[in-house]
Chains A and B, each alone.
Chain A
Amino acid sequence: MAGILKRPGFPGRRHVVRGTSLLVTLALTFLGLLLVTFLIGRVVPIDPVIAMVGDRVSADTYQRIRQELGLDLPLWQQFLRYVGDVLRGDFGESVLTSRPVLEDIARVFPATLELATAAIIIGVTLGVPAGVVAAVNRGRWPDHVIRVLGLIGHSIPIFWLGLMALLVFYARLDWAPGPGRVDVFYEGLVEPVTGIITVDALLAGETDVFWNALAHLVLPASILGYYSVAYIARMTRSFMLDQLRQEYITTARVKGMSETRVIWRHALGNIAVPLITVVALSYASLLEGSVLTETVFAWPGLGLYITNSLLSADMNAVLGGTLVVGAVFIGLNLLSDLLYRLLDPRAR
């Protein structure tokens, strides 16, 4: 193997080398992530022993549990132990739910996934056309309108927008259902298979539940999606401007091709690859926005889980949740990187 790799003519060699260095980078980043959550866990002013068994235990029991948790070991040994635990999928037990944190996260994660996916669908279907329109009408009013709408999106506190949306569309106009994933009436009607209610309802053939869940999804997903619309539109605009300057666009126009075809097929087709990486990155940032959105809409996902655990000082749950979000973030970054290399011949 090593012999093949050393031969300069071997075409895959560069890939292997690059792949290895990517893996090393990934492992180091993940280790750094673990170090950060570990250190945060150590500086917490909460005594983990007391958090677990309460402050009414004898000194002997206290010492015994302290030793069991490994808190008497030197810091670096504690860290190794922590890394080992996490790799085995042991994030400790949640004080709040008294269940393993990983089990809790597995239960709440699909709700966040559902919300973020709906939001990214909205973000792409509105953001890409908006960016194209802005680029084509550069410097004219559609461009300005889209730019200002984007700036507004970057300036509104998402939790406030959510509250206002509930006030207007739920309380006043009664167009949208209230907080939560389904009406109380429908709760528990569908067996959770994927954990994504809309999908589960369709699998079970419960169309009533599906429409209800979808109605509940519209408001939070639109608000969360607004943020990615602004970002996706801005990036699409700048990619499109680059393309529209190219000579092949002039050639296509000279050939008499319709303007619609030139813009939406030729130019847009060529920015598909960088756009995919943008979408992957904004999908990752939706995870962040979901923390506040879920709080406002009482959406039982990872964000609400983290904030609830925070307020009751449930550190295992907070750090476990943080770690999962960080890992997903790294994963999406890697995915966008890989997709770019895979799809763009120039990056190979």
Chain B
Amino acid sequence: MTTAHAWLTTETPHSRTQARLGRIYIGWLTFARNRLAMMGLGIVLLLVLMAALAPVIAPYDPYTQDLANRLMPPSAAHWLGTDAFGRDILSRILYGSRLTLMIVALVAVTAPVAGLLIGTVAGYLGGWVDTVLMRVTDVFLAFPKLILALAFVSALGPGIENAIIAIAITSWPPYARIARAETITIRNSDFISAVRLQGASRVRIILGHVVPLCTSSLIVRVTLDMAGIILTAAGLGFLGLGAQPPAPEWGAMIATGRQYVLEQWWVATMPGIAIFVVSLGFNLLGDGLRDVLDPKAS
């Protein structure tokens, strides 16, 4: 351990890899000192584990109805109780983590990439390309996200895929803004001029030199936005526009539990706690990452 520590923190690294690993290690040490951020990381890892192991750890099938045991309060047999069809709520929440993770992952790989490309292209090329792209970005920013997502889902039809598309379409503008701002500061630096003098094409400069420099601030922003993505997806599910029954999506589960909330409180309460814990995890993680990757902001 101590040798690894010494190797990683040496002042005179022997290779590029060693220097790079050393920087990551020091970043990790800063991150690990932040107890709340570690808690966030723990929650997110737990979510991934839950999703991966759902078939193994779930005590019941999430779809099998058991009408003799409907709306049972939490007990030894059903830790979190059963819903209106006698389905085990714990099992449904465990399986629902797969849907949540899928939504977050799909939005997180599409929207930031689109925003990154639009932002870097606008920032690097400037001129009318910049004006047009940023005007389009402004239009999308002018709408409240949830309302625009609602309108898109209404056009595409309810369903989890369409909810993901709608959330992705409404999430890219802030990333484009950030990427553009970073690009403009990078654009005129000497190393870019050097690459340009070597005859590199615009595509090569943008993809090979500008995009990598914009990613770290974008990663922080994406992590911070994940909670928002989860909440929007759950909101769409709650309104009946996201995942459709009998899918164990947490927001939709709250919607079906709503009519029993005054008597059988656990049906709507349990999935809500799941959403809350997971969003909190992503928020804490994002906050910690920001302190490590972007010390100016804190």
* A residues at B contact (CB < 8 Å): 25, 28-29, 32-33, 35-37, 40-41, 43-45, 148, 151-152, 154-161, 163-164, 166-167, 171, 284-285, 287-288, 291-292, 295-296, 306-307, 310-311, 313, 315, 318-319, 321-322, 325-326, 329-330, 333
- Mark out the residues of chain B between 139 and 160 whose CB falls within 8 Å of any chain A CB in the assembled complex: 139-140, 142-148, 150-157
* Interface check B235, CB cutoff 8 A: yes
Cα distance, A2 to B269, chains bound together (Å)? 66
B154: which of A44, A152, A154, A287 is its contact (CB, 8 Å)?
A44
Given contacts A33-B143, A310-B239, A310-B241, contact A155 B280 (CB under 8 A): yes
B21-29, B55-63, B257-265 - interface stretch: B257-265
Given contacts A167-B262, A291-B147, contact A36 B139 (CB under 8 A): yes
Closest chain B residue to A41 by CB distance?
Answer: B155
Shortest Cβ gap from A170 to chain B (Å): 8
Closest chain A residue to B224 by CB distance?
Answer: A154
* B residues at A contact (CB < 8 Å): 36, 135-136, 138-140, 142-148, 150-157, 227-228, 231, 234-235, 238-241, 251, 254, 258, 261-262, 265, 268-269, 272, 275-276, 279-280, 283-284, 287
Asked whether, in the complex, the Cβ of B284 is within 8 Å of the Cβ of A164, the reply is: no
| A29 contact set on B, CB distance < 8 A | 135, 138-139, 142
Given contacts A164-B269, A164-B272, contact A322 B151 (CB under 8 A): yes
A311: which of B152, B240, B276 is its contact (CB, 8 Å)?
B240
Asked whether, in the complex, the Cβ of A154 is within 8 Å of the Cβ of B143, the reply is: no
Closest chain A residue to B156 by CB distance?
Answer: A43
Cα distance, A217 to B270, chains bound together (Å)? 27
Asked whether, in the complex, the Cβ of B276 is within 8 Å of the Cβ of A45, the reply is: no
Main SS at interface, chain B: helix
Given contacts A40-B151, A166-B261, A310-B150, contact A160 B276 (CB under 8 A): yes
Closest chain A residue to B235 by CB distance?
Answer: A292
| A151 contact set on B, CB distance < 8 A | 280, 283-284, 287
| B276 contact set on A, CB distance < 8 A | 152, 155-157, 160
Shortest Cβ gap from B22 to chain A (Å): 29
Known: A35-B139, A329-B143. 5 other contacts (CB 8 A): A33-B142, A157-B238, A166-B261, A318-B151, A318-B154
Asked whether, in the complex, the Cβ of A40 is within 8 Å of the Cβ of B152, the reply is: yes
| A163 contact set on B, CB distance < 8 A | 254, 258, 261, 268, 272
B144: which of A37, A171, A285, A295 is its contact (CB, 8 Å)?
A285
Closest chain B residue to A32 by CB distance?
Answer: B139
Cα distance, A333 to B238, chains bound together (Å)? 29
| B138 contact set on A, CB distance < 8 A | 25, 29, 32
Cα distance, A324 to B146, chains bound together (Å)? 14
| A41 contact set on B, CB distance < 8 A | 155
Asked whether, in the complex, the Cβ of B254 is within 8 Å of the Cβ of A322, the reply is: no
| B254 contact set on A, CB distance < 8 A | 157, 159-160, 163
Given contacts A310-B150, A310-B154, A318-B151, contact A157 B272 (CB under 8 A): yes
**4 cross-chain pairs, A with B, having the tightest CB-CB distances, nearest first:** A32-B139, A160-B272, A288-B144, A155-B279
Asked whether, in the complex, the Cβ of B148 is within 8 Å of the Cβ of A322, the reply is: yes
Q: List 17 A-B contacts (CB under 8 A).
A: A29-B138, A29-B142, A40-B154, A41-B155, A156-B276, A157-B276, A158-B235, A160-B272, A167-B261, A167-B269, A291-B147, A291-B150, A292-B239, A296-B258, A310-B241, A315-B154, A322-B143
| A329 contact set on B, CB distance < 8 A | 142-144
Asked whether, in the complex, the Cβ of A287 is within 8 Å of the Cβ of B144, the reply is: yes
Given contacts A29-B138, A151-B287, A163-B268, contact A307 B239 (CB under 8 A): yes
Asked whether, in the complex, the Cβ of A157 is within 8 Å of the Cβ of B143, the reply is: no
Closest chain B residue to A170 by CB distance?
Answer: B262
Asked whether, in the complex, the Cβ of A160 is within 8 Å of the Cβ of B143, the reply is: no
Cα distance, A4 to B104, chains bound together (Å)? 57
Asked whether, in the complex, the Cβ of A155 is within 8 Å of the Cβ of B272, the reply is: no
Asked whether, in the complex, the Cβ of A288 is within 8 Å of the Cβ of B146, the reply is: yes
Asked whether, in the complex, the Cβ of A291 is within 8 Å of the Cβ of B146, the reply is: yes
Cα distance, A161 to B188, chains bound together (Å)? 49
Given contacts A155-B276, A163-B258, A163-B268, contact A319 B151 (CB under 8 A): yes
| Most chain B beta-carbon contacts within 10 A, residue among A29, A43, A151 | A151
| B135 contact set on A, CB distance < 8 A | 28-29, 32
| A292 contact set on B, CB distance < 8 A | 146, 235, 238-239
Cα distance, A32 to B265, chains bound together (Å)? 45
Asked whether, in the complex, the Cβ of B239 is within 8 Å of the Cβ of A325, the reply is: no
Asked whether, in the complex, the Cβ of B150 is within 8 Å of the Cβ of A155, the reply is: no
Shortest Cβ gap from A253 to chain B (Å): 26
Shortest Cβ gap from A307 to chain B (Å): 6
Given contacts A155-B279, A166-B261, contact A306 B147 (CB under 8 A): yes
Cα distance, A333 to B135, chains bound together (Å)? 15
Asked whether, in the complex, the Cβ of A155 is within 8 Å of the Cβ of B283, the reply is: yes
